[in-house]
Every structure is written in structure tokens, then in C-alpha cells.
Amino acid sequence: MRVLVLGGDGYLGWPTALHLSRRGHEVGVVDSFARRQYDFEMGVDSLVPIATLQRRVHTWSKVSGLHIAPFIGDLTDATFVERTLAAFEPEAIVHFAEQRSAPYSMIDRSHAVYTQVNNVVGTLNLLYAIAEQDPSIHLVKLGTMGEYGTPNIDIEEGFIEITHKGRKDILPYPKQPGSFYHLSKVHDSHNIMFACRIWGLRATDLNQGIVYGQQTEETSLHPELATRFDYDGVFGTVLNRFCVQAVAGHPLTVYGQGSQIRGMLDIRDTLACIELAVTHPADKGEYRVFNQFTESFSLNELAGMVSDVYPGTVEISHIDNPRVERQEHYYRAAHTKLLDLGLVPHMLSGQTIEGLIHVAERYRDRIDPVAIKPTVQWRHTASTLATAGSEPAVPEAFGVGVETSATIGSAEG
């Protein structure tokens, strides 16, 4: 198939592009390098050094003999979106291209506004371009389990059957997002579902849990194919962050009581889930939701697993939770649809954690202990709201647009 990966320079987007290319699909990637610009703004960097997109594409061609077509631009630029779809003529679009950090969206007003404009407007432009050019294109959109929040009932896959005053209906599952980033994902979901209903589009919304890991079969083929590895307090995902903290001799910083439960999955399973969604497309007019995670763990369980595996001494430190969330909560979420399509998951094991620790040890000299500390507080007073943070990274200063790379909200920690 012809598959266009939006946010194809990012943590998940780049490995996805390689995986689909190696599996025989004709792949194009779209990015504006905004994710790299957030590093400049935050004063941090990927633990694992990453090559430029141009270098990555060249190296992939050299290593595999396969070609990936790069498109550089901004999803909030409707003309760019229209021209890219017309040039590549995709059969499927994998949409990672959003600002994906909950803490980043909560820095202050300007970062919240930037996150929602970038994410929601970019997706709207994409929906219009698909509707106008080729409604048969299958949109595979990365959502987040964070859309649901932590309700005191079981979480279903997108929809729930409601009985009310003697009548029944199947309705979208109620959403309780925990940040302005997660809210942007909820808005996306509503807009996509609406477009499928009124324009006959077809879409799969993948509500992904927190991703861990850094290496895949394809990224391991050459150092210049490596994807990023974030450990800082704004973009670092929780298990990756714990492993880096252990190697750095830094306490594993568990937010609050540590009883909060998160859905998790291996980066290799993200690639498998994307391919399953692409090769088993939704029907015309269908909006479907898959919950994309394989296991659930509390923060305390994750910290304990890292402590057990790491060969040295590890301190676990409970710190004030910078987020506003329930410390104790029920969490039981359905995730059967991808398994029904054939997903064979990689379960979290000591061997997996050892691999993450090995990556951290290899690049130990790149660890910045100052970057680990959480710096963004959900609880703001009027005075802190007036002075918090700095302006978001301005892509125009780098001569490109505002479309972002993968992630993870999709991979928030």
C-alpha cells in the first residue's frame, strides 16, 4: 500500500515508517521538525543522538535498498496538506503529527493554546483534504488512553451501551482528559467521528498507552536509523525515565503515592498495531476505536521492577505530584480488538528493562540530571499563571512550519 506517515521524524513515526517500508509498503513521511525545536526551547536533548531526517532517509535507502519520500511542511498550512496528498496519493495515512506532551501543554496559556491549535487545526486540515481529494483514504490516527481518564467503571473501546429511562443507545465513551494536550486528542476524536458520519470517511482512532523502548528491528540496522529516547521531565516517558535515573544514580521519582495506573506497551507493539490497522482498514463511513496497550502497571510497580533489575543500588523517592489526578483509582480497560486482528504482544520483562538500562548506560555521558526534575505544575495560582514558562518554540525561526513529530501523548509519562 501507499502509506503516508505524518510526524515521520518522531519517536514513533520514524520507526513506523521504517517498519512499513521493510514490510513492502510504499512510504512517505511528513514532518516540520517542531519536535526537535522543543528540545532547543526546553534546553534538553534525546539521550540517544539522532541523525537528521535527510540523513536517515539516505541511510535507509543505502541499508535496505528501499526509498522513503520526505515532505517537509506544516499541517496547519492547508495548502501544504492538500499538495502533499495530491503528490503522494496515499491509500492510508498514519497520523502521529501532534504536540504529544501533557506537561508541555500545561506550562502556561501560550503552550496550551499552541498545543490545541497545532493539534486540532492540523487534523481538521487533514480531514478536509481527504474529503476533497479521496474519501477512500483510510486515516489511522494516534489517540491516547488519557482521553478516558480514570472512571470508576470499566473502560470500553471507544463506545459504551447506555440504558437510560428505559431506552438504549451505543454512545461514545465519556471522556475525562487530564491536560490540555489530552483535551486536544478528545477534540480530534470528535472531529474525526463527525467527518466519518457526514462525509463518509473511514478512520481508526488508536487510543495508545504509554510506550517504552527505543530499539526496533529496523532502527538497530544502523546508528543513523536510531529513534529518540526522552527522559526529561517534560517529554520523558515514565519507564524510560526510571531506567535513566537508575543509571545516573538519581532517585526514581514517583509522583505522589505512586498508585496511579497506566496502560503500557512496547515500542515494537506500536509498530505491529499500526500495521494491523493499516492492512485491516475501516469501512466507508466507519469511525472505529482500538485501545492500543498490552498491560497495566502502577507507577510503584514500574519503579519496583527497575529497582529489582538494576544491578546497583536504587533509591525510590516519592515526590509531590505535579499533576492533578486521583492517587487511588479503579482501572480496567478493554483492549481486545487489536488482539483479535492478530497482535502478538511483547510483555514487559526483566530482559526488556535490562535493554533500556543498557541504552542508558551506553549514553550515560549525555544524561543531564537537571532535566529529570519535573518543572511543570498543574496547580497554578493567578501569579504563577502570569509568569510561567516561556513562549513555545517558534518554527518560523527555523524556516519551517508547525507540524510536529510523533508522540507519544501517545507516549506521555
Under a CB-based contact definition with an 8 Å cutoff, are residues 125 and 75 in contact?
yes
- Is 168 one of the annotated active-site residues of the chain? no
- pLDDT reading at 382 higher than 80: no
Span 152-199, pLDDT tens digits: 999 999 999 999 999 999 999 999 999 999 999 999 999 999 999 999
Grid coordinates of 133: 481529494
Query: In the predicted model, what is the mean pLDDT of residues 123-133?
Result: 98
Choosing among 3.40.50.720, 3.40.710.10, 1.25.40.10, 3.40.190.10, the CATH entry for 2-230+264-295+334-345+381-411 is 3.40.50.720
The reported pLDDT for the residue numbered 406 is 31
pLDDT confidence band for 413 (50 / 70 / 90):
very low
Span 307-365, pLDDT tens digits: 999 999 999 999 999 999 999 999 999 999 999 999 999 999 999 999 999 999 999 99
Kindly provide the b/e burial profile for residues 182-217, where b requires at least 16 CB atoms within 10 angstroms of the residue's own CB: bbbbbbbbebbbebbeeeebbbbbbbbbbbbbbbbe
Catalytic residue among 114, 148, 173, 181: 181
- Is 185 one of the annotated active-site residues of the chain? yes
Instruction: Please name the helix (run of DSSP H) or strand (run of DSSP E) that holds residue 266, with its range, or none.
Output: strand 261-266
Under a CB-based contact definition with an 8 Å cutoff, are residues 206 and 273 in contact?
yes
Provide the β-strand partners of residue 168.
163
The reported pLDDT for the residue numbered 389 is 56
Residue type, 309: V
Catalytic residue among 104, 141, 185, 219: 185
- Domain ranges for the chain: 2-230+264-295+334-345+381-411
The reported pLDDT for the residue numbered 19 is 98
Span 225-244, pLDDT tens digits: 999 999 999 999 999 999 99
CA atoms of 409 and 145, how far apart (whole Å): 9
Under a CB-based contact definition with an 8 Å cutoff, are residues 124 and 74 in contact?
no
- Is 165 one of the annotated active-site residues of the chain? no
CB within 8 A of 23, min separation 6: which ones? 275
CA atoms of 215 and 228, how far apart (whole Å): 9
Catalytic residue among 16, 76, 123, 144: 144
